[in-house]
Amino acid sequence: MVPSLSSSDNNGHVSSTPDTCSDNKVVPVSSIAAALAKPDESPYYIGFEKVRVDEYHNVSNPEGIIQLGLSENTLSLDLLKEWLNKNLNESLSQGSSDGLINVDKLAPYQQFDGIMELKKVMARFMSEVLGGGTIEFDPLQVVLTCGANPANEILCNCVADPGDAFLVPAPYYPGFNRDMKIRSTVELIPVPTLSSDNFIVTIEALNIAYDQAKKQGKNVKGLLFANPSNPVGNMFNKETLQNLLNFAKEKNIHIISDEIYAGSRYGDDKFISIAEVVYPESIEKDRVHIVYGLSKDLCIPGFRLGVVYSWNQDVLTASKKLTRFCSVPLPIQQILLSMLSDGKFIQDFMKTNQERLRKRYSIFVEGLEKLGLGYVKGSAGLYCWVNMGRLMSSQDEKGELELWDKLMNIAKISVTPGGACHCTEPGWFRCCFARLSVEDVCLTIERIKRIVESVKPKCCGCQCDRNRAK
């Protein structure tokens, strides 16, 4: 039977009327598309949707949901605005003879993996931010991508085949699931870490996870982590990094170190890049790859600039070819080339931004302390890893999700529950504070207080944590 055609709609589109045809078949889409078309189940993504329809604004929606689930920094947008207003035209007209926008330079095809001038300034910037000015990054090992997520996906494709696995110390950044699993279809194996170890992974836990994976017939190809950690906000010391490298060497697997928060420090600890451990002449370099980007440290996730940095020539060559799917538009490259070349602006920006992060963090944790809530002392990142376990009705996943729901619907704050980050200890929540004004931090604490005050102490009246909730 031929499907009957309905008349065209107002836009002239013609549509069939499926309910009149008994044999009208749904045309199947790929398994990737089918999975993506389903509603998101993770509270991480559900939170975004809830905020999207009811986001707090101090004037237009004061009862709306405060967004603490998104790792974004808006604290220094004023500095960016000032620079862009002064320099945008000049950056886009670089090299033009008439002083107008240099269309001849900006419009044509270019190498998809980025222009060499930008790779050079990016390598210098990485030497400062990741290497503390003492480690050199080579522009020839830089591949530019439109954001750090594509950089992670590219590396995943370069070191693993579909079905292969990565060990990932957990809790980990929920976005890794999308970056690594959607198109590359690799498996991520969370390796549990404990609050008693300050959520730093141990080699023992890695060995157990590796052996278990092997027993299940899985092909472990790499170790993936964010350093500084998202969601915990702590950093690996040199000894831990050396141990991780030794582990990777022993198992003959790769390391992908996502260092996107290296310049968003607010603590006193020094950041140590994996580059420092392989520098200068280690034969282990070939298995080490770094992901970096400007989304966090320069507060410009909308600009989409990420980096694959590798010592492995095959990985570099393949990554460059894969950037045809995720290249950075030339006008953006040109603006960032000018911005990163402005040494004084960058130095002042990084310093001020770190000071602002530090101030926002300290107001936030001061508020938590007043409420008697514990947290991990963070060093970097845009968030605080908070222990709200004592506000839960049961110390399990159900209790955690119930509390998440209460925070969203009663306190009207959106946070990321630890379960969404594969944390094995229930009760931890990631709270991003870098989009909040000082007033909004205070309001957030007030709102959490509503939940704290609603929790009845359950013990005899001693001075334990439960009573401090009163």
407: amino acid identity, one letter:
L
Q: Could you tell me the smallest distance in angstroms from the CB atom of residue 258 to ligand PLP?
A: 5
Is 405 labeled as catalytic in the residue annotation? Answer: no
Confirm or reject binding of residue 175 to ligand PLP (CB under 6 A): yes
Closest CA to 336 of 377, 305, 308, 375: 305
What's the N-to-C CA distance of the chain in angstroms? Answer: 71
Stretch that binds ligand PLP, among 57-65, 145-153, 248-256, 383-391 (CB under 6 A): 145-153
Residue from 149, 264, 310, 334 that binds ligand PLP (CB under 6 A)? 149
424 CA to centre of own chain: 20
Q: Could you tell me the smallest distance in angstroms from the CB atom of residue 206 to ligand PLP?
A: 19
Confirm or reject binding of residue 327 to ligand PLP (CB under 6 A): no
Is the CB of 205 or the CB of 226 nearer to ligand PLP? 226
Pairing of strands 254-258, 220-226: parallel
Confirm or reject binding of residue 148 to ligand PLP (CB under 6 A): yes
Confirm or reject binding of residue 131 to ligand PLP (CB under 6 A): no
Confirm or reject binding of residue 383 to ligand PLP (CB under 6 A): no
Q: Are 333 and 318 in contact (CB under 8 A)?
A: no
Is 173 labeled as catalytic in the residue annotation? Answer: yes
Alpha-carbon distance of 189 to 192, in angstroms, equals 9
Alpha-carbon distance of 470 to 468, in angstroms, equals 5
3-class secondary structure, 328? coil
Alpha-carbon distance of 359 to 368, in angstroms, equals 14
Closest CA to 259 of 127, 112, 121: 127
Residue with tokens 């609050």: 195
3-class secondary structure, 334? helix
Residue from 113, 128, 258, 425 that binds ligand PLP (CB under 6 A)? 258
Confirm or reject binding of residue 451 to ligand PLP (CB under 6 A): no
Stretch that binds ligand PLP, among 61-69, 141-149, 232-240, 360-368 (CB under 6 A): 141-149
Is the CB of 192 or the CB of 301 nearer to ligand PLP? 301
Confirm or reject binding of residue 379 to ligand PLP (CB under 6 A): no
The count of other CB atoms within 10 Å of the CB of residue 169 is 26
Confirm or reject binding of residue 139 to ligand PLP (CB under 6 A): no
Is the CB of 233 or the CB of 293 nearer to ligand PLP? 293
Confirm or reject binding of residue 67 to ligand PLP (CB under 6 A): no
Q: Could you tell me the smallest distance in angstroms from the CB atom of residue 336 to ligand PLP?
A: 13
Alpha-carbon distance of 339 to 348, in angstroms, equals 12
Alpha-carbon distance of 126 to 137, in angstroms, equals 7
Is 279 labeled as catalytic in the residue annotation? Answer: no
Alpha-carbon distance of 223 to 351, in angstroms, equals 32
DSSP E strand stretches across 259-409: 288-293, 306-310, 374-375, 383-387
Confirm or reject binding of residue 223 to ligand PLP (CB under 6 A): no
Alpha-carbon distance of 82 to 124, in angstroms, equals 23
Instruction: Write the interaction track for ligand PLP spanning residues 226-245; mark x where CB under 6 A is met and - where it is not.
Output: x---x---------------
Q: Could you tell me the smallest distance in angstroms from the CB atom of residue 174 to ligand PLP?
A: 9
Residue from 67, 71, 76, 323 that binds ligand PLP (CB under 6 A)? 71
Stretch that binds ligand PLP, among 79-87, 121-129, 143-151, 418-426 (CB under 6 A): 143-151
Catalytic, out of 56, 172, 173, 383:
173
Alpha-carbon distance of 149 to 265, in angstroms, equals 21
Sheet of 416-417: strands edge to edge? 374-375, 383-387, 428-432, 416-417
Catalytic, out of 260, 274, 300, 332:
260
Catalytic, out of 113, 164, 179, 258:
258
Stretch that binds ligand PLP, among 60-68, 147-155, 334-342, 455-463 (CB under 6 A): 147-155
Alpha-carbon distance of 71 to 228, in angstroms, equals 13
3-class secondary structure, 420? helix
Confirm or reject binding of residue 295 to ligand PLP (CB under 6 A): yes
Residue from 301, 372, 399, 457 that binds ligand PLP (CB under 6 A)? 301
Is 314 labeled as catalytic in the residue annotation? Answer: no
Q: Could you tell me the smallest distance in angstroms from the CB atom of residue 170 to ligand PLP?
A: 13
- Interacting residues with ligand PLP (CB under 6 A): 71, 147-149, 173, 175, 226, 230, 258, 260, 293, 295, 301, 306
Q: Which residues are catalytic?
A: 173, 258, 260, 296
